[in-house]
Amino acid sequence: MNDMKHLPNSPEARDIAYHFHGYTNAAAHAETGPMIIERGEGIYVYDSGGNRYIEALSGLWSAAVGFNEPRLAKAAADQMAKLPFYHNFGHKSHGPAIDLAEKLISLAPVEMSKVFYTNSGSEANDTVLKMLWYRSNSLGQPERKKVIARQRGYHGVTIASGSLTGLPNNHRSFDLPIEGVLHTTCPHFWKDGAPGETEEEFASRCAADLEALIEAEGPETIAAFFAEPVMGAGGVVVPPKTYWEKIQKVLNKYDILLIADEVICGFGRTGQMFGSHTFGMKPDVMVMSKQITSSYVPFTAFMMNERFYAPIAEESGRIGVLGHGYTGGSHPLGAAVALENIAIIEERELVRNARLVGARFRKQLESLQDHPLVGEIRGVGFIAALELVNDKRAKSVTGPVGQLGGLMNAALQRNGAISRNLGDAIAFCPPLITTEEQADDLFAIVKASLDDVTRAVK
């Protein structure tokens, strides 16, 4: 990747020596070395060699307002100067935590009651699962502890949230999933729809699979269903028409709560404030992260309705305390940055921008549909994927999964855009501030990179 790694004491050599990376092939890292990103500017980041890249994934689906928003730097500095840390244990509170909780509840698509603060998306989902157990005990339903997520869903990497995640590499050798976390069908129509089946019929089949799983396990044992409105890390899977309506019907029938993991979809990504708006979901809990602060600081939250909250509050009353909370939960810095970040999203109409520029970009991507290596173009709002195949009729790749995707990812990077291949699907999730011209530039890079890959595999 970078020959600087051979120079002793170079940042590259020291990275190899001392830094253990997430989501990286640790065995290969000594060979490849790191790509060091030095600074950000709008939708661009610059590496240590001075090369500029469009950050086509907003970092990790994160930097909604781009990579150098001065208002967020100021909000953070002001809060640092005024109250750099406080917590919410033992009835303590502070302005930013209160203001943000009120703000988040005002943005929800359904009536919500309370906000709980956490430090990562994984931790938020982990906490929701723990609270579900507490809630079931409070309700006198100790058998209601199982939860259902989906194959290829992504909810994080802690022991509980990694169990909710439905991707093999998050389970393999980690001894996950834990007991009581079940997975149902991934709603990817293009890949898993049967020959002759319509999108609506496939959605009915997904709902029937969910119902069959609930029946087989015993409806009284299932506490909740966890799902992203649009699956992100599992490959940007947009649900088929009528999916959410049919899934929610099953959940309502069995009194099972819906946990919407809005970690990627939240704050405008799907063209409305939340994915739950876009798909008519009525969740009991909404998990929020990433674009809540544009990930300038690690800060996450979930909001819940009374149905979720009331039994938990009662149980803590019986016990005398809620035996749960994080030192950094409700961190004033994160809350202050989140408030400013949401203000920017609203003032600059970035949700509308995501809808308009996203539609334009997806339309351009769709012009690649007839390319022999393109299997599916999918997306909604300003999130999309380009799935590569080399057997177009079979909708699959012959050869190792991820090879084509890896080639495309490398070509994009050479041509000036950073994305990520999820297997052979290339994900696009640019900052919400992206202009039409910048989206056109990104598309030109995508097209040129596809040509490069076509030549390479000939």
Footprint of ligand PLP on this chain (CB under 6 A)?
60, 120-122, 125, 154-156, 228, 232-233, 261, 263-264, 289
Name the residue nearer to ligand PLP (CB basis): 154 or 308: 154
Name the residue nearer to ligand PLP (CB basis): 107 or 383: 383
Shortest Å distance, C-beta 261 to ligand PLP: 5
Name the residue nearer to ligand PLP (CB basis): 79 or 170: 170
For ligand PLP, the nearest residue by Cβ is: 121
Name the residue nearer to ligand PLP (CB basis): 154 or 296: 154
Shortest Å distance, C-beta 263 to ligand PLP: 3
Task: Please check whether residue 237 is in contact with residue 378, taking contact to mean a CB–CB distance below 8 angstroms.
Answer: yes
Cα–Cα distances in angstroms (integers) from residue 363 to residues 147, 232, 276, 289, 445, in the given order: 37, 20, 23, 28, 15
Name the residue nearer to ligand PLP (CB basis): 76 or 260: 260
Name the residue nearer to ligand PLP (CB basis): 23 or 321: 23
Name the residue nearer to ligand PLP (CB basis): 298 or 406: 298
Shortest Å distance, C-beta 150 to ligand PLP: 11
Residue of 176, 151, 144 lying closest to 161 (CA atoms)? 176
Shortest Å distance, C-beta 69 to ligand PLP: 20
Q: Are strands 300-304 and 114-118 parallel, antiparallel or unpaired?
A: antiparallel
Shortest Å distance, C-beta 274 to ligand PLP: 13
Name the residue nearer to ligand PLP (CB basis): 125 or 248: 125
Shortest Å distance, C-beta 237 to ligand PLP: 12
Shortest Å distance, C-beta 154 to ligand PLP: 5
Shortest Å distance, C-beta 213 to ligand PLP: 21
